[in-house]
Chain A
Amino acid sequence: MSECKTIDARDTFCPGPLMELITYMKQASVGDTLELLSTDQGTASDVPEWVNKVGHEMVSSEKIGEVWHLKVRKTK
């Protein structure tokens, strides 16, 4: 059964949030969705780049207040 996990990387700077996401992606199972919370503007554009390059799926990207919510599904 796939899970949805939230990773709170608020108040850390590039490439901290991306590396946090990648750490959890390694441990996740295929089909799991990870939601990364970040206040770093660069991360909001870097995460989709990374997802595209390595071939996972960008589920959504939304800014709520000052916080980016980036959802990524592990596909392989």
Chain B
Amino acid sequence: MSQDFHIVCISGTREKLQMAAMFASVAAATGEQVSVFFSMNALPYFVKDNAVEAPVEGEFGALMAQEPGVPPFKQLFKQAAELGDAKLLPCSMALDLLKISEEALDPELGPATGLTRFLNDAEGGQLLTF
């Protein structure tokens, strides 16, 4: 039986984005219903052509940053969407504050979603926050 996983990404640090992306990709590719809500410091990494690297939080992040065999978090989120139909939802409030439109984001993100809608959809499922 499939479960619903709702992941909230607010941190912009490498470790938290990586762990959220690992959850999203593995759960989605295993047939679970996954949605990921991106807000606060997590959203700017998904603006098209934003090449800024997520800063590391601690030693483990530094270790991951040095190791080319660690799949980048953006690749894992993309695979979650492509292989497992995960929904990657940008927070509409964050888009408003950043003064950008949904079209300025990577194509796998959308539609812009408000918190009320996200909470309604998340009802009864598991909520994970990073």
Smallest CB-CB separation from A19: which chain B residue? B79
- The answer to whether A13 touches B29 (Cβ under 8 A) is no
On chain B, which size bracket covers the interface?
A: 10 to 19
Whether B92 sits at the interface, judged by CB under 8 Å, is: no
Choice from A12, A19, A26 contacting B25 with Cβ under 8 Å: A19
Query: What's the nearest-Cβ distance from chain A to residue B75, in Å?
Result: 8
Q: A1 contacts the other chain (Cβ, under 8 Å)?
A: no
Q: Is B104 an interface residue (CB 8 A)?
A: no
Please determine whether B71 and A16 come into contact, CB atoms closer than 8 angstroms.
Answer: yes
Contact status A12-B71, CB under 8 Å: yes
Asked if B83 contacts A19 (CB within 8 A), the reply is: yes
B129 at the A interface (CB under 8 A):
no
Whether A54 contacts B31 in the complex (CB less than 8 A), given A15-B76, A19-B25, A26-B83, comes out as: yes
Distance A22 CA – B28 CA, assembled complex (angstroms): 11
- Given A19-B76, A50-B30, A53-B31: A14 touches B22 (CB 8 Å cut-off): yes
- Bound form: Cα–Cα A18–B79 in Å: 11
Q: How far is A20 from B1 in the complex, measured between Cα atoms in Å?
A: 24
A positions within 8 Å CB-CB of B: 11-16, 18-19, 22-23, 26, 46, 50, 53-54
Which residues of B come within 8 Å of A, CB atoms? 22, 25-26, 29-31, 67, 69-71, 76, 79, 83
